Structure 1
Amino acid sequence: MMEHSSSLLIQEGLYRRAIDLLKAPPLEAEGAETKVYRRDIVALARGGYAETLCIQQNRKVEGERLKRWAESAWRNRRMSLAEALDISEYSSKVPVIDSRISRVL
């Protein structure tokens, strides 16, 4: 149980750091999801962070809010945000981040 909780703390810290590095606007900003540079990458980071928060009972509301933001910002036509976040051996689509064009492929 302790190993699982420390893993969540590490994941949460990494997602927060990625969101900070991407200079993502605050969630409260009106229309922020439409004005974000690297929108798909920020949506992917916030979507992963949301999944990490939703696992924790006391932070589920915050996770759901982040998830809604990420889904509204996601514009990739090739795959849904859920598919991009589902990195497993059974998934047929694997997301690749192209830093030249700042898109998730």
Structure 2
Amino acid sequence: MFFHTLGAGAESEAALASARTLDGPEAARRAAVPGGQRPKPSPRQVKLAWQMYDAKDEHGKRKHTVQPIADEFGVTRPTYRHLPRPPRHPDALIHAGQQLIAWLPCPWP
């Protein structure tokens, strides 16, 4: 009898949790709160963010730190740090690849 009562209480608690879970998104839609994942920064924004980070003042120090750049583009610091860095020169990837190939041992005799 005791365990039957505990089981009934657990079932009612689970039903309440399920109902609250379903009510949350509906309440957000009524309040016009946008849901889902934030949009990714565009390639142009990524390029501008890295240009801001690479900019130096007259003393050779960075003009912008990570937090103001992240705030400017509406992302968090970890998101900013994971943005892909564009190549500095169009041939940078080719030169890097040639250096890498030059250092690899030849697999055939």
Same fold (TM over 0.5): no
TM-score (norm 2): 0.28
TM-score (norm 1): 0.29
Higher RCO, Cα 8 Å, sep 6+: 1
Rg larger in structure: 2
